[in-house]
Chain A
Amino acid sequence: MSIVQILFWVLSVVALFSALMVITSKNPVYSVLWLIVTFFAISGHYILLNAQFLAIVNIIVYAGAIMVLFLFVIMLMNARQEGASGNKRWLTLAGTVSGGIFLLVLVAALKDSELKSRSAMVMDGQVGLIKVLGNELFTRYVVPFEISSILFLSAMVGAVVIGKKD
């Protein structure tokens, strides 16, 4: 096994395990912390694919900003208790079974697709560098970029209006 394969499998196992811990932890704070581990593993995958810009943005935006927002909201409210739902065990079983069926169908559909012989370039390639992406972002994608700034403005105004005490 080469170093790339070892890194890929280690990062995949970490991502899957921490994602499972996100949905099985009882305490929401632990869920947030495991989700941060998942995001770091996915950033590791980005670095392995030489998508450096997205790896850094993923860490700064997701692990840095969004997860801190989640932690603040959880600590502001007492979200420990998962309300007493009578049908919880039945619901867990039904959800797991339907998720498993979803996975089974998609794996069976994609197992022998024409993608089987293709492969993704790892540890090399210029496409994920900041220079290339920034050049493209400010020439061909400048209109969506500006529209996303308006989206942020409206999201900020919306959050303030919704969260305002009245």
Chain B
Amino acid sequence: MPINYYLFLSLALFTIGMVGVLTRRNAIIIFMCIELMLNAVNLLLVAFSKMHYQAAIEAGQLATQAGVDGQLFVFFIMVVAAAEVSVGLAIIVMMYRNVHSVDINFLNRLKH
């Protein structure tokens, strides 16, 4: 599969997540769009990992370690995303308890 296809697919997914962050006002949906962007990056990392692996195989290195780093990087991104979600959702719950809404237009206290 040409790497360009994966590049443009994850670019489109990332852009959809970015548009969601810019247009939606619900804090939970904004958070979900951030997860979507993380997943687009993960997909691209795996595709590049397989691209480097194929290049190493074609160069004649049969027992190669090329591409392992990319997939482990995806693994660590998932770890960080899980930790981020637990803390972020706790913050959203606390915010809901204080202002009884998850609309980010109410989060303007730093302006005043």
Q: Which residues of A contact B (CB under 8 A)?
A: 4-5, 8, 12, 15-16, 19-20, 22-23, 28, 31-32, 35, 38-39, 42, 45-46, 49-51, 53-54, 57-58, 61-62, 65-66, 69-70, 73-74, 76-77, 79, 81-83, 85, 88, 91-92, 94-96, 98-100, 102-103, 106-107, 110, 115-116, 118-122, 125, 127-128, 132-133, 136-137, 141, 144, 148, 151-152, 154-156, 158-160, 162-163
Contact = CB atoms under 8 A, between A and B. Distances in A.
Interface residues of B, number: 74
Contacts, number: 236
Contacts of A156: 86
Interface of B: 1-9, 11-13, 15-20, 22-26, 28-29, 31-33, 35-36, 39, 42-43, 46-51, 53-55, 57, 65-68, 71-72, 74-76, 78-87, 89-94, 96, 101-103, 105-106
Interface of A is mostly: helix
The 9 A-B pairs of least Cβ separation, nearest first, read: A95-B22, A83-B103, A23-B20, A155-B83, A99-B19, A95-B23, A121-B54, A162-B90, A120-B50
Interface of B is mostly: helix
B50 A91 contact: no
A49 B47 CA distance: 7
A132 B50 CA distance: 14
